């Protein structure tokens, strides 16, 4: 009975470790946004109405031609999104969807657009209260020269921040950086940077420092390598192809020794997964088919002796 309990607990632990990695790593946007304490999917993905996008773009284009720089203020007022210029002249007013106005109780932003060597530089400073949490976000996005016209709003969201809807968005920017602060204590909660084909995100989770890096392959934004660090030590590494894990993922103990290995195919666990003692000897071996346990699971002692075997089919234990 005790051996069964030990094996069950080890499997529970290992599968949860895998599921955490699996949940955090399948796509850059999912990973970053899960780490991001200020992320509000409905707000970040909200698209301004076409006619108001045109009004905003026409204002930005006109004033940049005149002054090389322009400032836009946006705020939430009586369930409306209000955009105005530096002199408080209204650029547009737009009614927000009910679900968005209910969750977002306060929003105010300052966005500065300017040309830098022919490329559009967007600086944003906004305060957001959503689901009872109030944060301040400061960001800077430098778009590539090929990005112009109204298509800038496919990349820049209504806050003036980068809309990280897909890792492919990074093909359209030169560099990006963002910092998120807790309004109450001024503490830095989360930061993101992108430059030269490498994306980094950092966050403090309780007392643990978490960092993710995504290094794209030769400016191919469909694939690359994701590394996850805890307290500055490598915890996991995996390849990404088309936003999904592919191939072997390794996880490590704080001393750098391999803790576990698993195989992914199209974002799902397929094949043999192993967990090791910190002395390098195998502890647990399992077989997965499309994220479900299938076949024999074996628990080993540190001496290498088999302690227990269990059979699984389609994720369910086979009782003999």
Residue-level pLDDT, tens digit, the chain, 320 residues: 333 433 444 444 444 444 444 444 333 333 444 445 444 555 656 778 889 989 999 999 999 999 999 999 999 888 899 999 999 999 999 998 887 777 777 889 999 999 988 889 999 999 988 777 788 999 999 998 877 667 787 778 766 777 766 677 888 889 999 998 988 888 888 898 999 888 898 887 677 788 888 898 877 788 889 898 888 899 889 898 887 889 999 999 999 999 999 999 998 899 999 999 999 999 999 999 998 999 999 999 999 999 989 999 998 888 86
Alpha carbon of 269 to those of 234, 235, 246, 264, 318: distances in Å? 21, 18, 9, 5, 20
> Is the torsion defined by CA of 47, 52, 55, 59 positive or negative?
negative
Residue 208: its pLDDT value, please? Answer: 76
Residues 147 and 66 occupy one common structural domain: yes
Distance of alpha carbon 149 from alpha carbon 57, whole angstroms: 7
- Residues 280, 202 within the same domain: no
Residue 48 shares a structural domain with residue 80: yes
Q: Are residues 119 and 215 in the same domain?
A: yes
Beta carbons within 10 angstroms of residue 167's beta carbon: 23
The predicted structure's pLDDT at residue 165: 62
Cβ neighbours of residue 234 closer than 8 Å, sequence gap 6 or more: 227, 228, 252, 256
pLDDT of residue 44: 58
Q: 23 φ, ψ to 5°?
A: -70, -35
CA distances from 98 to 55, 93, 160, 294 (A): 23, 15, 22, 46
Q: Are residues 90 and 213 in the same domain?
A: yes
Classify residue 121 as exposed, middle or buried by CB count within 10 Å of its CB (0-12, 13-18, 19+): middle
- Residues whose CB is less than 8 angstroms from the CB of residue 58 and which lie 6 or more positions away in sequence, other chains included: none
Please give the helix or strand (H or E) that residue 249 lies within, else none. Answer: strand 244-252
Residue 63 lies in a domain: yes
Residue where a domain terminates, one of 220, 254, 288: 220
Same domain, 149 and 197: yes
> Does residue 3 lie in a domain region?
no
β-pair type (271-276, 258-265)? antiparallel
**DSSP secondary structure letter of residue 149:** G
Claim to verify: residue 140 and residue 257 sit in the same structural domain: no
Buried b (16+ CB within 10 A) or exposed e, 239-278: bbbebbbbeebebbeeeeeebbebbbeebbbbeebbbbee
Same-domain status, 255 and 118 = no
Q: What is the per-residue pLDDT for 219?
A: 72
- Cα four-point dihedral sign 75, 81, 84, 90: negative
Q: Please state, in angstroms and rounded to a whole number, the distance separating the CA atoms of residues 258 and 235.
A: 9
Q: Are 187 and 250 part of one and the same domain?
A: no
HEC string of 57-123? HHHHHHHHHHHCEEEEEEEEECCEEEEECCCCCEEEEEECCHHHHHHEEEEEEEEEEEEECCEEEEE
Closest Cα partner for 306 from 281, 278, 271, 279? 281
Q: Please give the tally of structural domains in the chain.
A: 2
Give me the pLDDT at residue 45, please. Answer: 60
Tokens 């990349």 belong to which residue? Answer: 155
C-alpha to C-alpha distance for 254 and 234, rounded to whole angstroms? 8
Q: What is the CB neighbour count within 10 angstroms for residue 159?
A: 23
HSE-up (13 A, CA, CB side) for residue 216: 21
102 and 188 together in one domain:
yes
Angle at alpha carbon of residue 82, lines to 77 and 87, rounded to 5°: 115
Verdict on whether the full-model pTM lies above 0.85: no
Residues 106 and 210 in one domain: yes
Q: Tell me the residue range of the domain where 273 lies.
A: 243-319
168 in the same domain as 70? yes
The count of other CB atoms within 10 Å of the CB of residue 304 is 8
């Amino acid at each position: 009975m005790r051996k069964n309990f030990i094996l069950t607990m080890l499997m529970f632990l290992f599968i949860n470790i895998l599921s955490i990695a699996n949940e955090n790593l399948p796509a850059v946007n999912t990973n970053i946004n899960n780490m991001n304490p200020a992320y509000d999917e409905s707000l970040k993905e909200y698209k301004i109405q076409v006619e108001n996008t045109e009004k905003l773009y026409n204002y930005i284009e006109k004033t940049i031609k005149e002054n090389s720089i322009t400032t836009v203020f946006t705020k939430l007022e009586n369930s409306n999104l209000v955009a105005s210029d530096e002199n408080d002249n209204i650029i547009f007013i737009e009614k927000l969807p009910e679900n968005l106005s209910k969750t977002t109780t306060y929003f105010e932003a300052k966005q500065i657009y300017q040309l830098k060597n022919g490329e559009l530089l967007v600086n944003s400073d906004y305060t957001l209260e959503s689901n009872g949490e109030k944060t301040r976000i400061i960001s800077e996005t430098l778009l590539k020269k090929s990005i112009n016209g109204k298509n800038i709003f496919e990349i820049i969201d209504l806050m003036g921040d980068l809309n990280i809807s897909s890792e492919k968005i990074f093909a359209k920017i030169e560099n990006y950086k963002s910092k998120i602060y807790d309004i109450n204590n001024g503490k830095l909660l989360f930061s993101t940077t992108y430059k030269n084909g490498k994306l980094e995100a950092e966050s403090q989770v309780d007392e643990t420092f978490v960092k993710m890096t995504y290094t794209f392959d030769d400016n191919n934004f469909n694939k690359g390598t994701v590394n996850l660090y805890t307290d500055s030590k490598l915890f996991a590494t995996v390849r990404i192809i088309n936003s999904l894990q592919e191939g072997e993922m390794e996880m490590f103990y704080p001393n750098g020794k391999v803790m576990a290995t698993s195989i992914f195919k199209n974002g799902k666990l397929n094949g043999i997964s192993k967990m090791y003692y910190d002395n390098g000897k195998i502890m647990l071996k399992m077989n997965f088919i499309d994220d479900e346990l299938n076949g024999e699971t074996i628990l080993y002692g540190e001496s290498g002796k088999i302690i227990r075997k269990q059979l699984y089919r389609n994720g369910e234990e086979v009782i003999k």
